[in-house]
Amino acid sequence: MYSKDEAARLRQQFWISFGQYMKPVPSVSGYPVNWINYKTGVKNIFFKMDVDTRKATISIQLSHPDAGIRELVFNQFEEFKLMFRNTVNEEWDWLQDTTDEYGKTISQIAITLEKVNIYNQQHWPELISFFKPRIIALDEFWDNVKPVFEDLV
C-alpha cells in the first residue's frame, strides 16, 4: 500500500511519462496538442483518460447541465456512430445517462481496459498502448465532426 503522497507521485509520474511519450505526435490537423488535457474546443464535451488500481478508461463525456441539450448532443454523436466505429476500429459503450465520479449525470462514450493498475509500473507500457491509439483516433474523429457540434451548442 502506498502513502497518499507516494500514490500521488506515481500517478503524476505516469501522466508525465505518457505526455512525454505523446509530445512528438501532432494532432491530425498537424498542430501540437496536449494529449493528456485534450481540449475539444466545445463547451461541455470532454475527452477523458482515467486509470486507477483496477482499470483504465478513455471516454467522450457530455456534461451539459440541461438534460435536453445533453440528449440532443448525445443523439448527434449517435448519428456519427458508424464513422466513430470506423475511426476507432472497435466497439465502445454508449451510455446516454450515467453518473461521473462526482455524482453528476452525464452522457458517455467509453471503452475500458480491465486488470491494470496505475501503481504497477510494469503495467505502464500496456496503459500507454491502450491510451495512445485511442486518443489519436478520437482526435481524428473530432477533426471531422467538430464543426457540427460547434454549431449545435
CA distance 51 to 15: 10
pLDDT in tens, 73-129: 999 999 999 999 999 999 999 999 999 989 999 999 999 999 999 999 999 999 999
Q: Which residues contact 7 (CB under 8 A, 6 or more apart)?
A: 119
Question: Whose CA is closest to 100, among 65, 136, 76, 71?
Answer: 65
pLDDT in tens, 33-72: 999 999 999 999 999 999 999 999 999 999 999 999 999 9
pLDDT in tens, 4-19: 899 899 999 999 999 9
Q: What is the pTM of this model?
A: 0.94
Looking at residue 32, its pLDDT comes to: 87
The answer to whether residue 137 scores a pLDDT higher than 80 is: yes
Looking at residue 54, its pLDDT comes to: 97
Where along the chain do its domains lie?
4-152
